[in-house]
A and B are shown apart, each in its own frame.
Chain A
Amino acid sequence: MHKIVSAIFLAENIKKIEIEAPRIAKKRKAGQFVMIRVGETGERVPLTIADANPEKGTITLIVQGMGKSTRELNSKEAGDSIHDIVGPLGAPSHIEKFGTAVSIGGGLGAAIAYPTAVALKEAGNYVITINGARSKELVILEEEMRAVSDEAYITTDDGSYGFHGFVTQKLQELIDSGKKIDFVLAIGPIPMMRAIAEVTRPYQIKTVVSLNPIMVDGTGMCGGCRVTVDNQIKFACVDGPEFDAHLVDFKNLSDRNKMYLPEEKQAVETFAHKCNLQKQL
């Protein structure tokens, strides 16, 4: 069992959860993830480690309530416990001094783009961050991102804050302004990552994305997280989760992530029903 030290909402439905996990806190590197099981009958859910405090022995996860498990996790408060956490899993981000590096987070993706931005800065890069959200209320980690950036941009789809438009448009603007960009990391919903790959492809800018396929064990044993990269099967849990954006078959990933849509819907409905009943009691 792992105790939750703090749990606060950063935006509607997005919670920052700090959990005791001393071994993981000591070992984790940017780009790595954990698998968690909220309760005894829970599924194993992969979540990227947003931050860690080795002295305190805690890791930080930023969780958006989407399916049943993430909603259940987001219903937890400080003092509650999580049944299982295993990690750090996945290969760490490949970090080097590229020159000018752009770290782009779309929506919850900022939670993953942030630790890598920190690592890129530590490696001596000129770091530009683009933090995109649908609207102002959904922007997360603004201060944290700004603190590690040489240039920090916020974009919102509705124009309620920062640049009015998508992260792709902001990136294109930066490229068009004549800025020499050596490396792009993009993390967010699949359509966004695919769009970023298309922005950078003509300029041959090295671009990396972090993929989020369905996983079971997260240690290479099941092959459920296989993705097609350069026409080859790769396992996101051990070969990734980060891959060359220009070689990823995003359509295949997007299709495969739909495998359990009816079951996910059913689980969410059952969970919502139980929550309602509990409220009435």
Chain B
Amino acid sequence: MDAQSITTKERLAIPRQQMPSQNPEMRSHNFREVNLGYTAELAQREAQRCLQCKNPACVKGCPVNIKIDKFIKLIADGDFAGAARKIKEDNVLPAVCGRVCPQEDQCEKECVLTKKYTSVAIGNLERFAADYERETGNVELPTVAAPTGKKVAVIGSGPAGLSCANDLVQLGHAVTVFEALHELGGVLMYGIPQFRLPKEIVQAEIEGMKKLGVNFITNAVAGRSITVDELLEEEKFDAIFIGVGAGLPWFMGIPGENLLGVYSANEFLTRVNLMKSYQFPDNDTPVFNCKGKSVAVFGGGNTAMDAVRTAKRLGAEHAYIVYRRSEAEMPARIEEVHHAREEGIEFLMLMNPLEFIGNEAQWLTGATCLRMELGEPDDSGRRRPVPIKDSEFILPIDMAVISIGNGSNPLIKQTTPDIDVSKRDTIVVDITTMATSKENVYAGGDIVTGGATVILAMGAGRTAAAAIHAKMMGTAVVS
């Protein structure tokens, strides 16, 4: 169908095209991807819903300002590879972002259709274009500028580091990325589960960057294997970008947290995602055998949803989300909560754990919890949960996952004292350039913001790349 030939009225009459997904009962027993992706037909129909606004608000809602209107028009016109190239002008990881971005709070929230209808499914379309390009092998490498002779070290190969490295290599700089783990991708590999973001997709995106000339070094821990000062002074890097992500997981500080069967979300997810313990003993790393057991995840964010859905897939009979506020206050994406509920996750809202209890062998047997009710709004604007008197009870569980966020890893701070950090130990930067207090050292992503999203980290990486380029070349920043 020719996209030009339909009227606005006809566009408005097209309903938002649903993302096909695996049947909930089936998928709650496997680690394959939940969402199956649009067909070309669904994608084109969805793309036709876009009104092609003169001043597209969606673009401003995107942290990396993808030319959303333009790539959607290309999809509507059937030029899928062209759409992918258009996205890649601004976003190095479209297949990843199309899957894990909170579009409902960003681009889709700004869509003019949102008020009276439902927004264009921008994320689903981004995913479609990126998948089309990768699956058809139609990947066109961007052009790389002539070598500048400048060297940049990027510490961390998560979303912030990858987007920074990608921009810099295209500008002709020699870029080396140092990764602490044995696999590249950071949180995309150890944190986000296979069923939400297949690891092959992450690796395909990284392969593309290798082809552009980015040099990747795994098993290099900043602050231990290499320090920022060594990179600057001994290895003569002209600039450094620190994108090491969030670090130490927080625990709740309640009795019994060291019982056997109590995990941080980071540990549980790392075992399953990065170390593939769901394939034990073919992979060596074990994880608690959830089969037929009751598992509770404490927290209400996306990581909590990832953990609880992972436990379900490992065979948990009961997989609970325990959250001290109500569902309306949960920070997790609506889609994730929706998917979790479809898969049989049990939501225990307004409930706060006081203590973990265990048996003689120190294995977890339950959590003493207190029921809560919502009181007056607190500093965050959300209604404060207040304990209900004498409401204590024991929730019987065999495994617990604490998913209440992360602090900062202390290694950079310990070994590079001249980089200023905040009271929360996050790195302090000038947000227009992501420059730290140390000359030629930049930082972005969760190490600056505390736990946030993939796309915000990518935005920070790009901002830093532009500033690093300008500083090294002695030019003004062009964003």
Contact = CB atoms under 8 A, between A and B. Distances in A.
A260 B247 CA distance: 25
Contact of B264 (A223, A255, A258): A223
A222 interface: yes
A41 B182 CA distance: 11
Interface stretch (A82-90, A126-134, A199-207): A82-90
Interface string B195-232: 00000000000000000000000111100111000000
Contact of A222 (B260, B270, B288, B289): B270
Nearest to B286: A263
Contact of A219 (B218, B221, B263): B221
A88 B251 contact: no
Interface residues of B, number: 42
Contacts of B249: 221-223
A224 B221 contact: no
Contact of B224 (A37, A87, A259, A270): A87
Given A219-B411, A263-B280, A88 B267 contact: no
A267 B281 contact: yes
B264 A68 contact: no
A223 B248 CA distance: 7
B248 A41 contact: no
A238 B408 CA distance: 12
B411 A44 contact: no
Contact of A217 (B181, B257, B280, B281): B181
A226 interface: yes
Interface in B393-428: 409-411
A83 B181 CA distance: 12
Nearest to A226: B258
Given A221-B248, A270-B281, A23 B225 contact: yes
B420 to A, nearest CB: 20
B224 A84 contact: no
A43 B260 CA distance: 20
A92 to B, nearest CB: 10
A172 interface: no
Given A37-B182, A233-B258, A221 B270 contact: yes
B285 A44 contact: yes
B424 to A, nearest CB: 15
B409 A255 contact: no
The A interface is mostly helix, strand or loop, or mixed, namely: mixed
B267 A86 contact: no
Contact of A258 (B180, B260, B280): B260
Interface string B178-194: 00111000000010000
A183 interface: no
A160 interface: no
Interface string B284-301: 111011000000000000
B258 A219 contact: no
Contacts of A138: none
Most chain B CB neighbours (cut-off 10 Å) among A221, A222, A255: A221
Interface string A237-267: 0100000000000001001101110011011
A258 B289 CA distance: 14
A43 B275 contact: yes
B409 A86 contact: no
A69 interface: yes
A266 B281 contact: yes
Nearest to A239: B410
Contact of A259 (B260, B264, B270, B281): B260
A216 interface: yes
A166 interface: no
A208 B218 CA distance: 33
A86 B285 contact: no
A24 interface: yes
B189 to A, nearest CB: 12
B409 to A, nearest CB: 5
A114 interface: no
B275 A235 contact: no
A255 B182 contact: no
B181 A220 contact: no
Contacts of B409: 219-221, 238
Given A42-B284, A266-B281, A224 B275 contact: no
Contact of A221 (B247, B283, B289): B247
A27 interface: yes
Interface of B: 180-182, 190, 218-221, 224-226, 247-249, 251, 253, 257-258, 260-261, 263-264, 266-267, 270-271, 275-276, 280-286, 288-289, 361-362, 409-411
19 contacts: A27-B224, A41-B283, A42-B284, A68-B284, A84-B182, A87-B221, A89-B221, A219-B180, A221-B266, A223-B248, A223-B251, A224-B263, A226-B258, A252-B258, A256-B362, A259-B261, A263-B280, A266-B281, A267-B284
Per CB-CB distance, the 10 closest pairs between chain A and chain B, nearest first, are A263-B286, A222-B267, A86-B219, A43-B284, A223-B264, A255-B362, A43-B285, A84-B182, A224-B267, A223-B249
